[in-house]
Structure 1
């Protein structure tokens, strides 16, 4: 117990509440919002999906986000340590979250490699179509480079992540806003507005739409993936958790919506398919930049910032894994980083090969897309529901209120209502989905 107390006292922290906000926003904003949100909107009907997503985010996802951050702050340890402290069975769930994060981060690194490759090609004035970019083994080489770079940054700890996030987040927001301004001048703007603001009657009655919307809401706020618990464990004592997480959630949601307004006007202007899937941004923007007079300069800036944001997401996922390995296996930070990097090299390779001449597929889709559809929606929802139930049914409410660091009990009351009812609501939803499918 004394050793544990000393470990908590010596645990490094974010330098301030704004530092946590920047770091947490950078962790989730990158791929969850710039890459995944537009393609999920495109594949699920546009405006109806956005409405369902926003409702899922506000009603359910945000209280659970606060709960996970508060739990991490309360235990000041890895995701395994946090859930073990809640209940004996929590250690099993904690390791399951680490496993989920390993799977997601393995293909995140591949996509981040794409952003780096496009940034490098833009600097060389050789921006390629996505099919041309993946015709060789670019996905593999850039995946290996990104994984090695992440290992170097993580050897320096949380302050390196903090410094990187403070620099990159403001630049990313400015760049996206500028591209939305350009998109507003495109002939496909009105079609994009219609796509993102109107929907057919009855569209919101489809259970599949709500399933994917909840998956994206959880994905956007990094729920059930260990990010929030791990980053929350480094929060300074005076941080107001509801205030900090509301700022993060508002930032991430705004950037997700801006990404849609940035992508779809170009998609419709050039007669492209909004349901193109995971390569939507990579097949759309190079063509856009190629058509513009100053396109190559915008390409350099955008893909540079896109890489930075995606890289921040990778760092967050890797930090979850490294913290668990270091604390549970009693490894030094350097050894935990080395083990994690080796694991990523092995597990990420199939995703990289799925966009190469090998074209590795599962169930008729690229291996990377399969992992994202399965882990990025199905497993994330299950993980978020189970985690919320564990914390809300086991942790004393008074301790959660204390960990929130806020005087108002409004959020703690709402957190426990959502957390305790979520497992039952999930079962009811599954029944609805089965009945609707049978009809």
Structure 2
């Protein structure tokens, strides 16, 4: 039996876990979500969500990976043979996300180069959608866009090259370089942002609390949603990463460090983003509320506009900002890709090289779709449906399965407490068995109402007002396909004798 790879140090694991959690969403999603849901007051439900869902699920997944010593499919199988399917479902969701996430990193890589000469010009929106992405109508593929294709190839060469090297010599070393570099670069950005004229207005808009919003249940749902999507939980990553931990590992402490490290970066990102937005609002003579944006619009339209207006060192600030997106994206993409590399290695007993070549190569090949003129529309719909009906739904199923169906919480708590300094008590059990299922259930109900039932109303359109057929094949088919393929993989036989599998299971217990 092969010895499973391990992290070289505890710091290496924590940097990798934080690197997975800290991604593009920390920079371009959290600031706008916080602003739109009560400003400074949003930090109250946000912290509550972190302590009752984020960190508890992190502890649960760290414990599963550490106890059962396998990828998500193998860990769930060792827990209960009938649970293997949820592991593959999570892996397939990660696979889909990697195919388009890599393309967004490629955009950021291109914009890092554009920053040197401010190539995006004055009309940054027209440049993004016209000159750069050359977008076509929804449903049309069109030809490859060289400005996206070339950096996309480079992204995959870097990520797959790191994964070929393995855990200790590849992922750990890369995160030891990328994460400190990301923090230093972003600190420079934040310091520059808060020293700009008008920055204080942006920070006041970001932090001024609207305590009345706390009474709105949608604000609490937004807080749980942000924590959930930000921490890389419920799509196989943290189970996979923790499976490489040595026998003596402080599970609970690691989860707290990862959770608070991720949230600290989000707040830092909010300070930087709103400092810059305050400056832009002052330059335009409009309220901060009129320049607030998120997602692709914030990163590739609003920020280039702001960089154009910078009093000095426009090019340097632009390069640093987009370089931070590249670094945050690469650390997350490595972790996402490792989930299906590990799954293939465990299931089919193939070498890491073959698993990286097949799994990573297939993802890279599919990602070429998003490097075409129609790629942005495919990306938009696939991202919405795989996140809402993949990641969020898996989280709900995973928690209910472990807490109520398999009743594994006490067993997992015992394992974590045996090796951790911080002992788990009623807080952890109540959070996972009651609070998290209720909140995630409410979220899923709202999403189903919004995306299915309201479609029967004559005045309600599809997500993004896309055509029914495009939503069906680019959205629903992707989300459902991940589940179906996951079930199929769960039914295939493992490339090991049943005796060896049983011995591994007993060893894990």
Using the size of structure 2 for normalisation, the TM-score is 0.75
When residues 22 and 433 of structure 1 are mapped into structure 2, their CA distance, relative to the original with a 3 A threshold, is closer
Equivalent in the alignment of 1:161: 171
Q: Distance in 2 between matches of 1:201 and 1:110?
A: 39
Q: Distance in 1 between matches of 2:103 and 2:446?
A: 36
Equivalent in the alignment of 1:260: 270
Answer with 274-283 or 112-121: which moved more: 274-283
Equivalent in the alignment of 2:437: 423
Q: Shift of residue 238 of structure 1?
A: 2.4
Q: Distance in 2 between matches of 1:251 and 1:117?
A: 28
SS for the counterpart of 2:23 is: helix
CA deviation vs aligned residue, 1:279-307 (integer Å, no higher than 9, x gap): 31232333333424223233334433431
Contact kept, 8 Å, 1:238 with 1:405, in 2: the verdict is no
- Structure 1 unaligned blocks of 5 or more: 1-5, 362-366
Q: Shift of residue 392 of structure 1?
A: 3.4
Q: Shift of residue 260 of structure 1?
A: 1.1
Equivalent in the alignment of 1:121: 114
When residues 283 and 360 of structure 1 are mapped into structure 2, their CA distance, relative to the original with a 3 A threshold, is closer
Equivalent in the alignment of 2:153: 144
When residues 336 and 435 of structure 1 are mapped into structure 2, their CA distance, relative to the original with a 3 A threshold, is closer
Which of these residues, 411, 421, 424, is aligned with residue 424 of structure 2? 411
When residues 199 and 420 of structure 1 are mapped into structure 2, their CA distance, relative to the original with a 3 A threshold, is same
Alignment of 1:34-183 (within 5 A): 34-41=27-34, 46-47=39-40, 49-122=42-115, 124-128=116-120, 129=124, 131-133=126-128, 134-136=132-134, 137=145, 138-159=147-168, 160-183=170-193
Q: Distance in 2 between matches of 1:178 and 1:307?
A: 16
Using the size of structure 1 for normalisation, the TM-score is 0.86
CA deviation vs aligned residue, 1:207-242 (integer Å, no higher than 9, x gap): 443333222201221110111100000112222111
Contact kept, 8 Å, 2:90 with 2:234, in 1: the verdict is yes
Q: Shift of residue 273 of structure 1?
A: 2.7
Task: Number of aligned residue pairs: give it.
Answer: 422
Equivalent in the alignment of 1:11: 4
Equivalent in the alignment of 1:379: 390
Q: Supply the RMSD in Å over aligned alpha carbons.
A: 2.9
Q: Distance in 2 between matches of 1:188 and 1:17?
A: 42
Alignment of 1:343-382 (within 5 A): 343-353=362-372, 356=373, 358=374, 361=377, 367-382=378-393
Contact kept, 8 Å, 2:37 with 2:213, in 1: the verdict is no
Q: Distance in 1 between matches of 2:152 and 2:11?
A: 31
CA deviation vs aligned residue, 1:296-341 (integer Å, no higher than 9, x gap): 2333344334312210100000000111112113332122112223
Equivalent in the alignment of 1:324: 343
CA deviation vs aligned residue, 1:349-408 (integer Å, no higher than 9, x gap): 44444xx4x3653xxxxx323333333345322222222233334336245432455455
Q: Distance in 2 between matches of 1:165 and 1:130?
A: 33
Alignment of 1:227-306 (within 5 A): 227-271=237-281, 273-290=291-308, 291-306=310-325
Q: Shift of residue 276 of structure 1?
A: 4.7
Q: Shift of residue 14 of structure 1?
A: 0.5
Q: Does 1:209 align with 2:209?
A: no
Contact kept, 8 Å, 2:149 with 2:371, in 1: the verdict is yes
- Structure 2 unaligned blocks of 5 or more: 135-144, 282-289, 455-509
